[in-house]
Amino acid sequence: MYKALTIAGSDSSGGAGIQADIKTMTAHGVYAMSVITALTAQNTTGVTGIMDVSKEFLEEQMDCVFTDIVPDAVKIGMVSSEGLIRSISKKLKQYGAQNVVVDPVMVATSGSRLITEEAISVLKEALFPLADLLTPNVPETEVIAGIKIKTKEDMVKATKMIYNRYGCPVLCKGGHFGNDADDLLYIDGEIHWLKGERYDNPNTHGTGCTLSSAIASNLSKGYSMIEAVKLAKTYVAKAIDDNMNLGKGRGPLNHMWKIMQCDDNFIF
């Protein structure tokens, strides 16, 4: 059994955060574990509250996981405060965590902010150097690189800047850019454009969480980084294209699109 850990916030509406990660890992046939950084009161229209766990409790969760069922891959999502980021960094180093995917979550699709300004600089300094892959979307890439992205050439420039500064492979996700869904993977000094068709579906809550946990699932199974990202991109595209329509705002993806293709006899 391959094992993956998500370190992220809980989304009460089930479309993003821990819930999206566990659904995704399970849909990939991977044993999912969680370290919860925060509870959010959230639905498809927005986030109404955030309650962080304490540093001590976060570290206790990490100790429990890493001293027992050691994960083959780790995905890190929403971490809103400096202290929690430092605790995660310390514990990842202490346990020599493998296949670390960092999704630098800053703002939800609904527009709600999920990290403090001060925490962004700690994220860069304490977590990015530990990442085997960093997965910012275009607005996050702009914040991290410190330049505006208006063209695909800008996307390449910003992604290279981040790679050179933090020394980790970078996947710049194109879901908020242009008329396609092309993502840019920069790894081992080489650019790979991963082409994607943009589906005309406003229900994209949790796409970033889902993509990063699908990548972690694939890495836990031993796929190369490029294969892991390509397979994850296909999984997300199909989950968007399934056209599930739940809630009053930007709804979630169908994480179970593949399982639902089976008949009842197969499932039960």
Ligand X SMILES: Cc1ncc(COP(=O)(O)OP(=O)(O)O)c(N)n1
Ligand Y SMILES: Nc1ncnc2c1ncn2[C@@H]1O[C@H](COP(=O)(O)OP(=O)(O)O)[C@@H](O)[C@H]1O
* 189 three-class SS: coil
- For residue 41, give both structure tokens: 């009161």
Question: Does the annotation count 206 as an active-site position?
Answer: yes
The one segment of 3-11, 34-42, 173-181, 214-222 that binds ligand Y by CB under 6 A:
173-181
Question: Of the listed 24, 109, 204, 210, which one is catalytic?
Answer: 204
Question: Is residue 217 at the binding interface for ligand Y, with CB under 6 A as the rule?
Answer: no
Does 9 bind ligand X (CB under 6 A)? Our answer is yes
From residue 31 to residue 50, the character string flagging contacts with ligand X as x (rule: CB under 6 A) and all else as - is ---------x-x--------
Is 209 assigned a catalytic role? yes
Pick between residue 87 and residue 213 the one whose CB is nearest to ligand Y.
213
State yes or no: is 262 an active-site residue. Answer: no
Q: Taking the alpha carbons of 135, 137, 139, 142 in that order, is the dihedral positive or negative? A: positive
* Minimum CB–partner distance for residue 107 and ligand X (Å): 7
The catalytic position among 135, 209, 210, 251 is 209
Question: Token pair 């031993």 is at which residue?
Answer: 222
> Quick check: is 204 catalytic?
yes
Number of residues engaging ligand Y in binding (CB under 6 A): 19
204 binds ligand Y (CB under 6 A): yes
Burial class (CB in 10 A: 0-12, 13-18, 19+), 90: middle
The C-alpha atoms of residue 237 and residue 228 are separated, in whole angstroms, by 14
Residue 108 makes contact with ligand X by CB under 6 A = yes
196 binds ligand Y (CB under 6 A): yes
Distance of closest approach, residue 109 Cβ to ligand X, in angstroms = 3
Single out the catalytic residue among 15, 196, 208, 251.
208
Sheet holding 73-76, edge to edge: 46-52, 31-43, 3-11, 73-76, 100-102, 133-134, 170-172, 183-187, 190-194
Give me the long-range contacts of 160-167 (CB less than 8 A, separation at least 24). Answer: 160/186, 162/128, 162/134, 162/136, 166/124, 166/128, 166/129, 166/131, 166/134, 167/129
Binding residues for ligand Y, per CB under 6 A?
137, 173-176, 181, 183, 196, 198-199, 201, 204, 207-208, 211, 233, 236-237, 240
